[in-house]
Copies of this chain bind each other. A is one copy, B any other.
């Protein structure tokens, strides 16, 4: 049997399942509402299977009403993921620092190779053309 944290990570390891969760962030939805955007790429039973994985992991809860059984997001398992991630905080920050240093080097190189009279718009100049 899979441990709870592995089950959560496993459930999140799929773009369709993450898209379903993203939809549920905006409120509850029926199975057919959730399935609709995916029916071009997969069948309704295909989507239902993904939903079952999310339900088993406790990330989605289904209402008990006989006719309309709305699916709801349950973010509780994500708190365990966050707690697990906390132990890696220092390493994550170090890797962001390294990325920052790298980007600084790249920016310097780009600035040096771009001629000063290049007709590019400055990121500071206001853009009045909305839409």
Interface residues of A (CB under 8 A from B): 2-3, 5-7, 9-10, 12-15, 18, 21-22, 25, 73-76, 78-79, 81-82, 84-85, 87-88, 91-92, 94-96, 99
How many Å lie between the Cα of A60 and that of B88 in the bound state?
13
Contact A75 B99 (CB under 8 A): no
Mostly, the A contact residues are helix
Contact A25 B87 (CB under 8 A): yes
Partner of A88, one of B14, B25, B92: B25
How many Å lie between the Cα of A100 and that of B11 in the bound state?
26
Smallest CB separation, A95 vs chain B (Å): 4
Question: CB-CB < 8 A to A10: which residues of B?
Answer: 9-10, 13
Partner of A76, one of B7, B81, B95: B95
Question: CB-CB < 8 A to A91: which residues of B?
Answer: 25, 73, 75, 78
Q: Which of A9, A18, A85 has the most CB of B within 10 A?
A: A9
